[in-house]
Amino acid sequence: MWGASAGRGGGPATVAANEMSHHPLSGVAPTGQLPLFDARYVGWPGDAAATWSQGPDPADGGAAAARHRAVFWVLVGEYLSRERLLLVDALKVGLHELSGLYAANERTSAKVIGEVERFVRYANACGVEYLDELRAEHVDGYVWAATRARGAVTEVKPRTAANRQSFIRRFLDVLAALGLWAGGDIVGAPIDRGSSESSRPLTPEEMRLVEVHSAEGLFVGRRPVLVGFAQAGGDAAEIAAVTAHDVDLVAGTVTLGGRNRRTNPLTPWGVEVVGDYLTAARPAPGTPLCVVGGKPLHRLAHSVTVSLREALVSARIAGRPRVTARSIALWSAAKVLDREGIVAAARFLGSNSLDATAASLDFDWQAD
């Protein structure tokens, strides 16, 4: 079993010694928040848990699945027989069950598992070694812990805190169902998520800045292509999946989407930058144009979002209210709305909700 192992950058004890300046439980910093741990601690045992939690290959048939489940219950039985259970061992079986609960949604599964791993990492840094040492202050401390982005510590928003809280609640519920957790409710009342601030369309001037700054440089890169596909209404996952097969430069279109595919027009600028990239890079027909493959879709989509965000940063508009990576697609959708109406705008964005589309475009469609 794992115990208090030391990964890259030191184990939890080293982390605690190095990071406690922001610790909310001992020596509260001015913000009262602890920046969450990042990729420096990839050697921590949680990574092994995520690997172990993956079930048997479905192609092996029901017998393999049954054997895998039997091994799991033997492990649970062993843990039940112990006087006290290490928190990292509880994580091991908890992630196994959570991965099954969220198996139908890869993005949600990755988000839940990642947050639970970080919560356990945080609790270890707080000095929690055994499951029965978890207290409400550990949950509350993690839920409201600050995040670190580009070296800066940023306070968490209520919506993020509420998501973390719900994931921890599900983790403890899973352990309780297995008979491993009898500590009662330490998560507390649900946090009010508040009203999340939606993205807005870029203005024509903002879009011009994005085009200018994303295409800077001597060599043709991927960033202008990303922006071009975003202008065509693609979301991050759709952009990550686009190949040369999906682009028709003669018609000036790109085909987007998974199950419900749609073909949208590229902007004249998009046709130009995508054409330049195809000429320079000469990618294989089935190769994704905007990402390097071999990773799960949710990670590829995240890299697209980061790249689009960097385009906004380069254009010096990233800090403006409600400007996000999605604002690029909404810029085009707003023009579709003006020309063809709300139904066409929803279709352009691949949305099945007229209400959500109208809200994102600041349009009261039921008033007309």
Read off the pLDDT of each residue in 303-315 and give the average, rounded to a whole number: 88
Q: Which residue bears the tokens 């870029």?
A: 202
Structural domains of the chain ordered from first start = 12-177 (no CATH), 204-367 (1.10.443.10)
Closest-CA residue to 202 (of 117, 345, 54, 321): 321
pLDDT band, very low/low/confident/very high, at 180 (cuts 50, 70, 90): very high
Beta-bridge mates of residue 147: 154
Give φ, ψ of 259 to 5 degrees.
Answer: -70, -45
Q: What is the pLDDT of residues 88-113, one digit of tens each?
A: 999 999 998 898 888 888 888 888 99
83, with CB counted inside 10 A (0-12, 13-18, 19+), is exposed
Average pLDDT, the chain: 78
Could you tell me what percent of the chain has a pLDDT over 90? 41
Beta-bridge mates of residue 154: 147
Compute the chain's Rg from CA coordinates.
24
Query: What is the total residue count of the chain?
Result: 368
Predicted pLDDT of residue 306:
84
Q: What is the pLDDT of residues 145-163, one digit of tens each?
A: 866 554 545 566 777 888 8
Q: Which residue bears the tokens 């109208």?
A: 358
Predicted pLDDT of residue 342:
93
pLDDT tops 50 at residue 42: no
Read off the pLDDT of each residue in 312-334 and give the average, rounded to a whole number: 91
Read off the pLDDT of each residue in 124-132 and give the average, rounded to a whole number: 92
